[in-house]
Amino acid sequence: MYCPIIDAAGAIAGAAFQKDKKISKSLIFLIFMMTIDTKKDKRLADEWELSNSKGGMTADEITFLASTGLKTCKDFCASRKYTGENRCICIRERFPTSAHYDLYLRARSKYLELLEIGILAKAASQEATGEKNEK
Ligand SMILES: [Zn+2]
């Protein structure tokens, strides 16, 4: 569920509630994300897409995520708005390169496909046994 922007917004709300001085740091981050540095964010997204880095994530981690699904950007994400749906900061924070993310997407859709086949198979076998019992 991690999203840096929601995290920052939460920190601001929390800090405001407690009259904490950490508010300025979080506020700077939020402003950075929402207005000032969209160019930098785009550049970072470009770099991320072109990166050939191999490290940072194992096949096991990708497999695990494929079975649970990735939960980010549920609400508004400024980074997503400016850099695009598949390369916002939430995704870049989770995957070292876009190749890792692509792999995750493919594994995820395969997983959902298999899940669907499993559900259909279960339903079919229940139907079959149900018919048997009726006779
Ligand atoms: Zn995002």
What's the CA-to-centroid distance between 76 and ligand 1, angstroms? 8
**Percentage of the chain lying above the pLDDT 90 cut:** 42
pTM reported for the whole predicted model: 0.63
pLDDT at 35: 56
pLDDT at 30: 63
- DSSP state letters, 19-86: T-TTHHHHHHHHHIIIIITHHHHHHHHHHHHH-----S--HHHHHHHHHH------S--HHHHHH-TT
pLDDT at 76: 87
Write the pLDDT tens digit of every residue in 61-116. 999 999 999 887 778 888 898 899 899 999 999 999 999 999 999 999 999 999 99
What's the CA-to-centroid distance between 135 and ligand 1, angstroms? 56
pLDDT at 73: 79
pLDDT at 53: 79
Write the pLDDT tens digit of every residue in 10-69. 655 565 556 555 556 665 566 555 555 788 899 999 999 998 877 778 989 999 999 999
What's the CA-to-centroid distance between 117 and ligand 1, angstroms? 31
What's the CA-to-centroid distance between 119 and ligand 1, angstroms? 32
What's the CA-to-centroid distance between 75 and ligand 1, angstroms? 8
